[in-house]
Amino acid sequence: MSTSTDSMMDSIPARSPAEVYDALFVPALFRQWCRVVADAAHVGPDQHVLDVACGTGTLALAAVGRVGARGRVAGIDPSAEMLAVARRNGDGVEWHDGTAEALPFADATFDAVVSQFGFMFFADQAGALREMWRVLRPGGHLAVAVCDAVDHSPGYAVVTELLHRLFGEKVATSMRAPFASGDPALLRARCVEAGLEAARITRHDGTVRFDSIRALVATERACAWTLGGLLDDAQFDRLAIAAEESLQPFVEPDGGIAFNMPALVITAAHA
């Protein structure tokens, strides 16, 4: 088990949600999806690319390496905290403050529009798809990734069940929030509503990895999008003790924890 991660756990309360996301969730969950989403959108040299709900910039910065010096990458997010971390993470991206439902770009501006793991939190999902489609050029590609259903991610399914048993449905529902759009039928309906009848929805496997069970639980406790602010110290200790037993099937020889977390990816090609 990594002592550096243990140190991170000790300092979580002093970190902003954006810093927690970038330092802990990105390496544990989200960085691996940059290649999948960029491939799905056919991101390549000299293109103009938009990353919607860019967060701390992981996908946008990966796209910079693909488009090269003659390409252009823009990232947009409604969180000033996320964008502040993104600006610290690297250069070569035009960062914008704004929402997916009202993109501040002209029609047919980008060769590729991508978004990973923000769609489930959009207030108007169909409206966001329409906006992303509007700014896409003819011949361009759209790729949007969301977490699959929590039942398909066994480690998080166990954590959700523990939360329900220990603290009730309200807390368990908060843990389910990132997985709320993990339903191909729901995504298909959103695409049809947005006028993207030809969109495809595919499932891709990914892996969650934390240095320990306690690291996973502590990170989720600090996450503004799941358990942030919901558990006091005594409740956290109860959850951590229960998780040590229930998550044992996912523990690896080095003490880390790993399990599958699939994603659903919406793709569409602009005629």
How, if at all, do strands 48-52 and 72-77 pair? parallel
pLDDT at position 14, please? 65
Domain limits for position 7: 3-269
- Cα Dmax for the chain: 56
pTM for this model (two decimals): 0.92
Q: Helix or strand or coil: residue 150?
A: helix
pLDDT at position 224, please? 81
Chain centre distance of CA 263: 10
Give yes or no for residue 6 having a pLDDT over 80. Answer: no
Other C-beta atoms lying within 10 Å of the C-beta of residue 13: 10
CB 122 within 8 Å of CB 101: yes
CATH number assigned to the domain comprising residue 238: 3.40.50.150
Name, in order, each residue with C-beta under 8 angstroms of 161's C-beta and a sequence gap of 6 or more: 172, 246
Residue listed under structure tokens 């003819």: 138
Across the chain, mean pLDDT equals 93
Q: pLDDT-derived band of residue 248, with 50, 70 and 90 as boundaries? A: very high
Give yes or no for residue 238 having a pLDDT over 90. Answer: yes
Q: How many domains does the chain have?
A: 1
Give yes or no for residue 186 having a pLDDT over 80. Answer: yes
Give yes or no for residue 171 having a pLDDT over 60. Answer: yes
Q: For residue 58, which of 28, 33, 84 has the smallest C-alpha distance?
A: 33
Element containing residue 84 per DSSP (H, E):
helix 80-89
Q: For residue 250, which of 222, 212, 203, 193 has the smallest C-alpha distance?
A: 212
Sort 226 into a burial class: Cβ within 10 Å, 0-12 / 13-18 / 19+. Answer: buried
Per-residue pLDDT tens digits for 113-153: 999 999 999 999 999 999 999 999 999 999 999 999 999 99
CB 215 within 8 Å of CB 153: no
Which range (30-34, 225-229, 247-251) has the least confidence? 225-229
Dist. CA 47–CA 72, nearest whole Å = 6
pLDDT at position 225, please? 84
Per-residue pLDDT tens digits for 64-119: 999 999 999 999 999 999 999 999 999 999 999 999 999 999 999 999 999 999 99
CB 48 within 8 Å of CB 36: no
Give yes or no for residue 4 having a pLDDT over 60. Answer: no
Residue listed under structure tokens 């990895």: 209
Give yes or no for residue 175 having a pLDDT over 50. Answer: yes
